[in-house]
Amino acid sequence: MTAAGPGRRFDELTDPEIAAALARSPRAVLPMGSVEQHGPHLPTGTDFFAATAIALAVAEHLDALVLPLCPLGVTPMHMPYPGTVSLRPQTLQDVVADIGSSLAAHGCRELVILNWHEGNIPALALAAEDLHRRLGLKVVVVQACYVAEQRYGPAAGGLTHGGTIEAWSVLASRPDLVHLDRAAGGGDRRQGELADRLRRDRCFQPVLTDVRAMSRTGWYGSPQGATEAEARAFVADLGAEIAARLQGILAALAEIQPAAAGSPGATAGGELARRAGTGDAGTGDAGTGDAGTGDAGTVRA
């Protein structure tokens, strides 16, 4: 692993530094979240604070760049609350497609889309498929909130909207935005768990019109005991687990779907390496936006 923090953030690096980083390791992580109400105790940006913190932790293990967060997501279920701003699914797909096209043109060959908002899942699956078919990118979509549920759900009272897991996700990087003293009046747990079982079923996907069907207050759980120390350990452990599983998935993809020597990603990567070696990190012509289908594969993890 190399330098932490700002050394990973795409928007905090210079153009030559980005060219050199992609030539060394043509991987990028795109965090995805949403802006929506999370009760009286957590900020509306909870999902994107979670996605960013975990993406940075994952990137340390993968030697990857972290893209600026796309903070808005698809969240019509939360629109009854004024703290919510929702995108149409097609809008989100188009934004991710444009981001992926830019990265591919600059030599990126592996894109990890790290998502913390369940409403984004269908749009991100379609966007990932498009990037693979159109540009030859190897794309893995990680539902980080579900990995968190698998690892921490039993100890944290499950993955609940506004509960302990989401409190940890903000406390880790922005404790000043967490107000656990206001975490009172959460909804009925039985009703919330029923709604979550319905919307997370793998075989049947009913549509919930309004988050108040899950909880009359828009959130439920018991985050009052969450601490900053727990939060930091949560992000570090989750980042390490996601990275380890990703490395296995990427290795398996490389085995079953090796990139052809003349594929769009390989061609762009070679050009980027040349630019990084000569110090020429200008605009260049490293790849195009209509570069065949490739054989890189799309995986949802």
Q: What does the pLDDT read at residue 71? A: 81
Range with the lowest mean pLDDT among 55-59, 62-66, 219-223, 291-295? Answer: 291-295
Residues 6 or more apart whose Cβ sits within 8 Å of residue 159? 145, 146, 148, 149, 153, 165, 196
C-alpha closest to that of 36 among 113, 114, 120, 112: 120
Question: H-helix or E-strand containing 50?
Answer: helix 46-62
Task: Take residue 55 and report the two structure tokens written for it.
Answer: 């993406």
Asked whether the predicted pLDDT for residue 262 surpasses 60, the reply is no
Residues 6 or more apart whose Cβ sits within 8 Å of residue 227? 171
Segment 263-267 shows an average pLDDT of 49
Q: What rounded mean pLDDT belongs to the chain?
A: 85
Please report which residue ranges of 76-163 form alpha helices under DSSP H. Answer: 89-105, 121-135, 144-156
Please report which residue ranges of 159-227 form alpha helices under DSSP H. Answer: 164-171, 189-199
Q: What does the pLDDT read at residue 225? A: 95
Is the distance from CB of 66 to CB of 55 less than 8 angstroms? Answer: yes
Distances (CA, A) of 301 to 48, 80, 239: 19, 31, 14
What dihedral angle (degrees, nearest 10) is formed by the CA atoms of 117, 59, 112, 274?
150
**pTM of structure:** 0.82
Segment 136-156 shows an average pLDDT of 96
275 confidence band (pLDDT: 50, 70, 90): very low
State how far the Cα of 112 lies from the Cα of 97, in Å rounded to an integer. Answer: 13
Task: Take residue 241 and report the two structure tokens written for it.
Answer: 């687990």
Segment 79-92 shows an average pLDDT of 89
Class of domain 5-300: alpha beta
Is the distance from CB of 127 to CB of 92 less than 8 angstroms? Answer: yes
Range with the lowest mean pLDDT among 7-21, 54-68, 257-271? Answer: 257-271
